[in-house]
Amino acid sequence: MATGRTHRPATRSRGIPEATVARLPLYLRALTALSERSVPTVSSEELAAAAGVNSAKLRKDFSYLGSYGTRGVGYDVEYLVYQISRELGLTQDWPVVIVGIGNLGAALANYGGFASRGFRVAALIDADPAMAGKPVAGIPVQHSDDLEKIIEDNGVSIGVIATPAGAAQPVCDRLVAAGVTSILNFAPTVLSVPDGVDVRKVDLSIELQILAFHEQRKAGEEAAAGTDGGAPAVAARSESADKGPDGDVPAVMPA
């Protein structure tokens, strides 16, 4: 598609499919690891294995970014790291606020991978006055009364909500009113936001329930098996049922 001059205003990135966007961070992580080991180039096959996808998908994904590989050779690691970082907007620094400094909020504040790549915890906010001033991960917690001011002073456009479910929507409304346009929601609630605001959610119990579904099905199939010749303990069913949130984990189909 790199060759196809799709009639489009001179704007930046062509429409990169959402599914591809969701995998770019995965590729980036794998590439960063290679970069740290000073590996100069990598093939789609190797990189795909490291990222846990298949190589065709990876090549297709990269084709949306442009032609960054060399036929017969592979991809230049450093160059790809840069291109993907740029595509993801990680060449700039994103100030982030975390609202709700309970167990989870504290865990997030302490999470290293946070700062490492393009994100900076600009502020921690909690509604509990007793928390105010207390440092978490080296950053003093601020009271939620000042939420709007904090957002504006720091030019924050990404907010992380780690409050109890009941507080999530009100907090979300205030964040959005103050100018936040991307929200990562850890509270088990559906947030409603105006158009133009992105929300992504991370929900432990949903993930567990999805696992339970598959777990249950495994148990059922196990019981149903038995007439078969061999006695292999584990799932032989070709229904490679492992899914990630978006992609799969390595799976080699015996064609």
Partner DNA sequence: CTGTGTGAAATTGTTCACAGCT
Partner DNA sequence: AGCTGTGAACAATTTCACACAG
Annotated binding site for NAD(+): 100-105
Cβ closest to DNA, residue 41 vs residue 154: 41
Q: Reduced to 3 states, what is the DSSP secondary structure of residue 25?
A: helix
Enumerate the β-bridge partners of residue 120: 95
Under the criterion CB under 7 A, does residue 83 sit at the interface with DNA?
no
Number of residues binding to a copy of itself, judged by CB under 8 A: 103
Q: Reduced to 3 states, what is the DSSP secondary structure of residue 84?
A: helix
CA distance 102 to 108: 10
Q: How far is CA 231 from CA 183, 220, 234, in A?
A: 49, 17, 9
End-to-end, the C-alpha distance of the chain in Å comes to 28
Q: Specify whether the CB–CB gap between 69 and 62 falls below 8 A.
A: yes
Number of residues binding to DNA, judged by CB under 7 A: 36
By CB under 8 A, what part of segment 142-181 binds a copy of itself? 157-158, 181
Under the criterion CB under 7 A, does residue 55 sit at the interface with DNA?
yes
Interaction partner, residue 184 (DNA, a copy of itself, none; CB < 5-8 Å by kind): a copy of itself
**What is the smallest separation between the CB atom of 165 and DNA, expressed in angstroms?**
24
Pairing of strands 74-76, 139-143: unpaired
Q: Which residue has the tokens 């006695």?
A: 231
Interface residue with DNA among 13, 19, 165, 204 (CB under 7 A) is: 19
Interface residue with a copy of itself among 107, 132, 139, 167 (CB under 8 A) is: 107
Interface residue with a copy of itself among 119, 139, 154, 167 (CB under 8 A) is: 119
Under the criterion CB under 7 A, does residue 247 sit at the interface with DNA?
yes
Of 178, 155, 163, whose CA–CA distance to 128 is shortest? 163
Q: How far is CA 151 from CA 35, 124, 135, 166, 198, in A?
A: 35, 11, 19, 22, 17
Under the criterion CB under 8 A, does residue 138 sit at the interface with a copy of itself?
no
Interface residue with DNA among 12, 71, 112, 226 (CB under 7 A) is: 71
Q: Which residues are annotated as a binding site?
A: 100-105
CA distance 156 to 175: 9
- Name the one range near DNA by CB under 7 A: 18-26, 121-129, 141-149, 165-173: 18-26
Under the criterion CB under 7 A, does residue 115 sit at the interface with DNA?
no
Under the criterion CB under 7 A, does residue 241 sit at the interface with DNA?
no
By CB under 7 A, what part of segment 33-52 binds DNA? 43-45
Under the criterion CB under 8 A, does residue 108 sit at the interface with a copy of itself?
yes
Q: How far is CA 228 from CA 65, 82, 99, 218, 233, in A?
A: 47, 52, 55, 16, 12
Binding stretches for DNA (CB under 7 A): 1-4, 6, 17-20, 43-45, 53-57, 59-60, 62-63, 67-75, 245-248, 253, 255
